[in-house]
Chain A
Amino acid sequence: MLAAVRSNILPLFFVLLFGLSFTTDAYAQYLINLMLVYVVVAQGLNLILGFAGMFAFAHGAFMAIGAYVSALLMNKFGVSYLVAMPAAGLAAALVGCSIGIPAIRVSGLYLAMVTMGFSEIVQWILRNWKPVTSGTDGISVASPVFFGVELSDDFQTFYIILAVCAVMTALAQFIIRSRLGRAFVAIRDSEIAAQSSGINVARTKVLAFAISAFYAGVGGSLFSLTQHYINPDNFNLYQTIMQFCMVIVGGASSLIGPFIGATILTWLPELLRNAQAFQEIGFGLLLIVFVIFVPKGLAGLLIDKGILPREEYSSRVRGKWVVRKERAEGSERT
């Protein structure tokens, strides 16, 4: 029973949220929706930061591209949300590719600087390309219509967001376990070993950019649904830092990490509502504490303690948990 819970924790999480949606009030439902949106965005950031080990600092901007593209397609061209959302993801992925191709020439801190510069350019465009983006006034987002039914409140949009989040999670798991996901980890841990095993490092890095931007784009589109109104301030540096917090606190390079991180960092600010001045300080402190004391995040901690099963990178070895406890026994055998 417990073992079944441990190994199916994500499906159970979705079922639980589905059940909860019948009992929530409007505000709690809004927060659940927002949390699921951040799960999608954090998964994208986790793929590039946690798995591929690249310090891309641009996911607020990718999210903005997704949010604006989907809102503008719906508002100005009357495009269905079913088309606007994937289009938002693809637009972000395309931009991700084009920023990725020059950006992968540098790594580490320099990559962070280049991508942060890109984020500022996107901010500038959002603020100054007024005929299209309405500048700092922002734009309101039309409610999506499915088969003649307008989904206007958070209880209705929840179903879209939950479904998209589930699909994106399945896709993330698929990518992580794929040849490409392994290539991400290979270039993170040793580029020379990756190259010598036949992995094209440049192509893998550009794909990491494109895929994680796709996640941020889809997340941005969902985000616009939860807000009904978007403006450039939604996607500033603070947004990107919060996403970093989610990945680091939740646990980088873990499928479950973004769920833990997004949950904590969506609800924590609500608990600190009475002390808003502490919110940003709180996030900063949280990041410092985790980077120093819990570098693998909560997911890594739970896996090391044997509370959660180790996530397998091959689809063919399910159910064989390799727990750190083995370190003690027989590791000196030769």
Chain B
Amino acid sequence: MTQILKLEGLMVRFGGLTAVNGVSLTIASGEIRGLIGPNGAGKTTLFNAISGLAPASAGSVHLDGLEITSKSAPQRAALGIRRTFQTVQLVQSFTVYENLLFGLHTRAGNPLTRLIVGSYATPDADADAIIDEVLDYLGMRDLKHRVVDTLTIAHQRYVEIGRALVARPKLLMLDEPTAGLSPAQIERLDDLIGRLSSDWKVSILLVEHVIPLVVKLCSRITVLDRGRVIAEGTGAEIGQDAAVQKAYLGERLDA
């Protein structure tokens, strides 16, 4: 199986704080990888380092065999890394359709029109077809022309996923997609994430606090604590892991 993402000794330092401390991991194509860890473990910083928002202090990032360590966030997005955010980051005054158009920003085109106008040519019939396909998949076709701030948080999260999907990414990173959702909504999202990787041929890196969900969706889980990978394996394996138990629950008193 080909490796979509490969991190080697990745470090992110902010001044004296080392938020990500020598993380190495690989994600295979089509894999759904869970990333868990207690608060402050460095999950979001690792996300930012992969998507290019936080510069790596050391180590390397490869996407589908291509070294992207020194590439900027927009360049990485163009190469196929897309993500969602813990707090929804959409243009609230725009419709669902208009928000999905952002996902198509990097679509190839004539460089001159891309720079200056880009315009009437870009939201073309193709773009419409892609957006309709994604909206149908998400079951949101009837909400296409609704302004985003009139939607529920659950639907807003779907729009964020849709914005990523229209670009047909290689790697989709979901940062706590269930935050703020009701149990029924979580179940539906859980079902969606489970189908995404095979339906869209995308690898997924999932940060999530709802552990049963991660165990159910992900064949392999990586556990992060204080910027380091402390365990990696199946849900059952990491459940038994002493280091993981210690990170989450602390030391046993009677030991």
Residues of A at under 8 Å CB distance from B?
174-175, 177-180, 182-183, 185-186, 189-190, 192-201, 253, 310, 312-317, 320, 322, 324, 326-327, 331-334
Inter-chain contacts of B94 with A (CB < 8 A): 185, 313
CA distance A334 to B120 in the complex (A): 33
Residues of B at under 8 Å CB distance from A?
51-53, 72-75, 77-78, 82-83, 85, 89-95, 97-98, 101-103, 105-106, 114, 116-120, 122-123, 128, 145-147, 149-152, 154-155, 163, 167, 184-185
Residue of B51, B74, B122 ringed by the most chain A CB atoms within 10 A: B74
Residue from the list A174, A178, A314, A333 in contact with B98, Cβ < 8 A: A314
Inter-chain contacts of A178 with B (CB < 8 A): 117-120, 122
Show 7 A/B contacts (Cβ-Cβ < 8 Å), sorted by A.
A179-B119, A190-B89, A193-B90, A195-B53, A195-B73, A313-B94, A313-B98
Task: Evaluate contact between B103 and A197: CB separation under 8 angstroms.
Answer: yes
Task: Evaluate contact between A186 and B152: CB separation under 8 angstroms.
Answer: no
Inter-chain contacts of B52 with A (CB < 8 A): 195
Task: Beyond the given A190-B91, A197-B105, A317-B97, please list 11 additional residue pairs across the A-B interface where CB-CB is below 8 A.
Answer: A177-B120, A179-B119, A196-B83, A198-B77, A314-B98, A314-B123, A315-B123, A327-B149, A331-B152, A334-B154, A334-B185
Known A-B contacts A182-B105, A196-B77, A322-B145; A314 and B97 likewise in contact (beta carbons under 8 Å): yes
- Residue of B at shortest CB range from A332? B152
- Residue of A at shortest CB range from B103? A197
CA distance A23 to B114 in the complex (A): 45
CA distance A334 to B53 in the complex (A): 32
Task: Evaluate contact between B77 and A197: CB separation under 8 angstroms.
Answer: yes
CA distance A327 to B105 in the complex (A): 28
CA distance A189 to B102 in the complex (A): 12
Known A-B contacts A174-B117, A322-B145, A332-B152; A198 and B105 likewise in contact (beta carbons under 8 Å): yes
